[in-house]
Amino acid sequence: MSDYDVMIIGAGPAGLSCASYAARSGMRTLVLEAGFPGGQVLSLDKVENYPSIKPMEGFALASAFQAQAESFGARIELEGAMSLKKEDGLFCAGDFKAPICVLATGCSRRKLGCKGEEQYTGRGVSYCATCDGPFFKGKKMLVIGGGDSAVQEAIYLSGLTGDLTICHRRATFRAQAALARSLENHHVKTRMNSSVLEIIGDGKKVTAVKFDDLSEESFDAVFIFVGLVPNNDLAKAMGCKLDDIGFVMTDAAMRTSVDGLFAIGDVRNTLFRQIVTASSDGAIAAHFAKQELDSLEGRSYI
């Protein structure tokens, strides 16, 4: 027996949205979070692209997500899941057990590791163009990276400024050829065979970048897109099917290759990673988790 119907691991927008929908549907809902509820939203100075809300601090939005989930009856434990296994039909994470489990463990942005990166994150250094690009409209921006994501984000940012450069450490982009060629149509300057040594600022914000040829150029914002690292340790431990990068494969209902186990938000192989899409994943997973639970308990949908 278990005290819970569904156990959600991770309390970012995906996990908290899932908790709200699951608890509201009558499921006994537990959320495990190693840090603080909100996930990467907590690091955002301002969120202005979430539907129906006025621009607000990331902390305020995260708090609203948490309050809503708890108001519907979800229990949030500030305890991480160090391991996950399935025994006698129940998913077990420490002392907590449930017949349904949802992974909302997110992912981490791969860092450059250069001097000044950590100091100016949130003050001119960003890992999300659609989140932070509008704050630098008309300013001088630098994009770092050479894959599809970097090029796509550069194209998006080119609509916000006429002074945009993309920097890549190789002679050619890793992005699809047609996508890379479109940079010229969007008047994006390229700086190839070039790496960033240091992001320079005045103590409050980014002011310039030093490159590996020791040259310096002024910039107001630096957007880094050198890959994502999925937090997939639990998924791997459960034997979930992963894509080539390590993101968890799911179907449209957010089901993984393991019965009773769902994956939502940034940890899964989604095409677009935003607060709104993570929230959508959570709602979908909760809906089909309820169907799964009803089936396990002999109540099937007609």
The domain locations on the chain are 6-108+228-296, 111-224
As a whole number of angstroms, the distance between CA 37 and CA 59 comes to 9
- For residue 195, the SS3 value is coil
Under CATH, domain 6-108+228-296 is a member of which superfamily?
FAD/NAD(P)-binding domain (3.50.50.60)
Q: Are 191 and 166 in contact (CB under 8 A)?
A: yes
Q: What is the pLDDT of residues 116-159, one digit of tens each?
A: 999 999 999 999 888 899 999 999 999 999 988 789 889 999 99
Residue with tokens 């992001």: 199
Residue 295 has pLDDT above 80, yes or no: yes
Query: Six-digit token pair at 155?
Result: 């194209």
Spatial CA neighbour of 239 closest among 133, 54, 103: 103
Instruction: Please indicate whether residue 207 or residue 182 has the higher confidence score (pLDDT).
Output: 207
Q: What is the pLDDT of residue 50?
A: 87
111-224 and 6-108+228-296 share a CATH fold: yes
Assign 75 to helix, strand or coil: strand
**How distant, in Å, are the alpha carbons of 45, 75, 258, 291 from that of 298?**
47, 26, 20, 10
pTM assigned to the model: 0.75
Asked if residue 197 has pLDDT above 80, the reply is yes
Phi, psi of 178 (to 5 degrees): -65, -35
CA distance 246 to 231: 9
**pLDDT of the residue at 192:** 96
Q: Which residue pairs from 78-81 have beta carbons closer than 8 angstroms and sit at least 24 positions apart in sequence?
A: 78/33, 78/34, 78/35, 78/36, 79/32, 79/33, 79/34, 80/32, 80/33, 80/34, 80/35, 81/9, 81/32, 81/34, 81/234
* pLDDT for 45 beyond 70: no
* Over residues 39-62, mean pLDDT: 82
The identity of residue 220, as a single letter, is D
**pLDDT tens for each residue of 77-88:** 999 999 999 999
- Fold of the 111-224 domain: FAD/NAD(P)-binding domain (3.50.50)
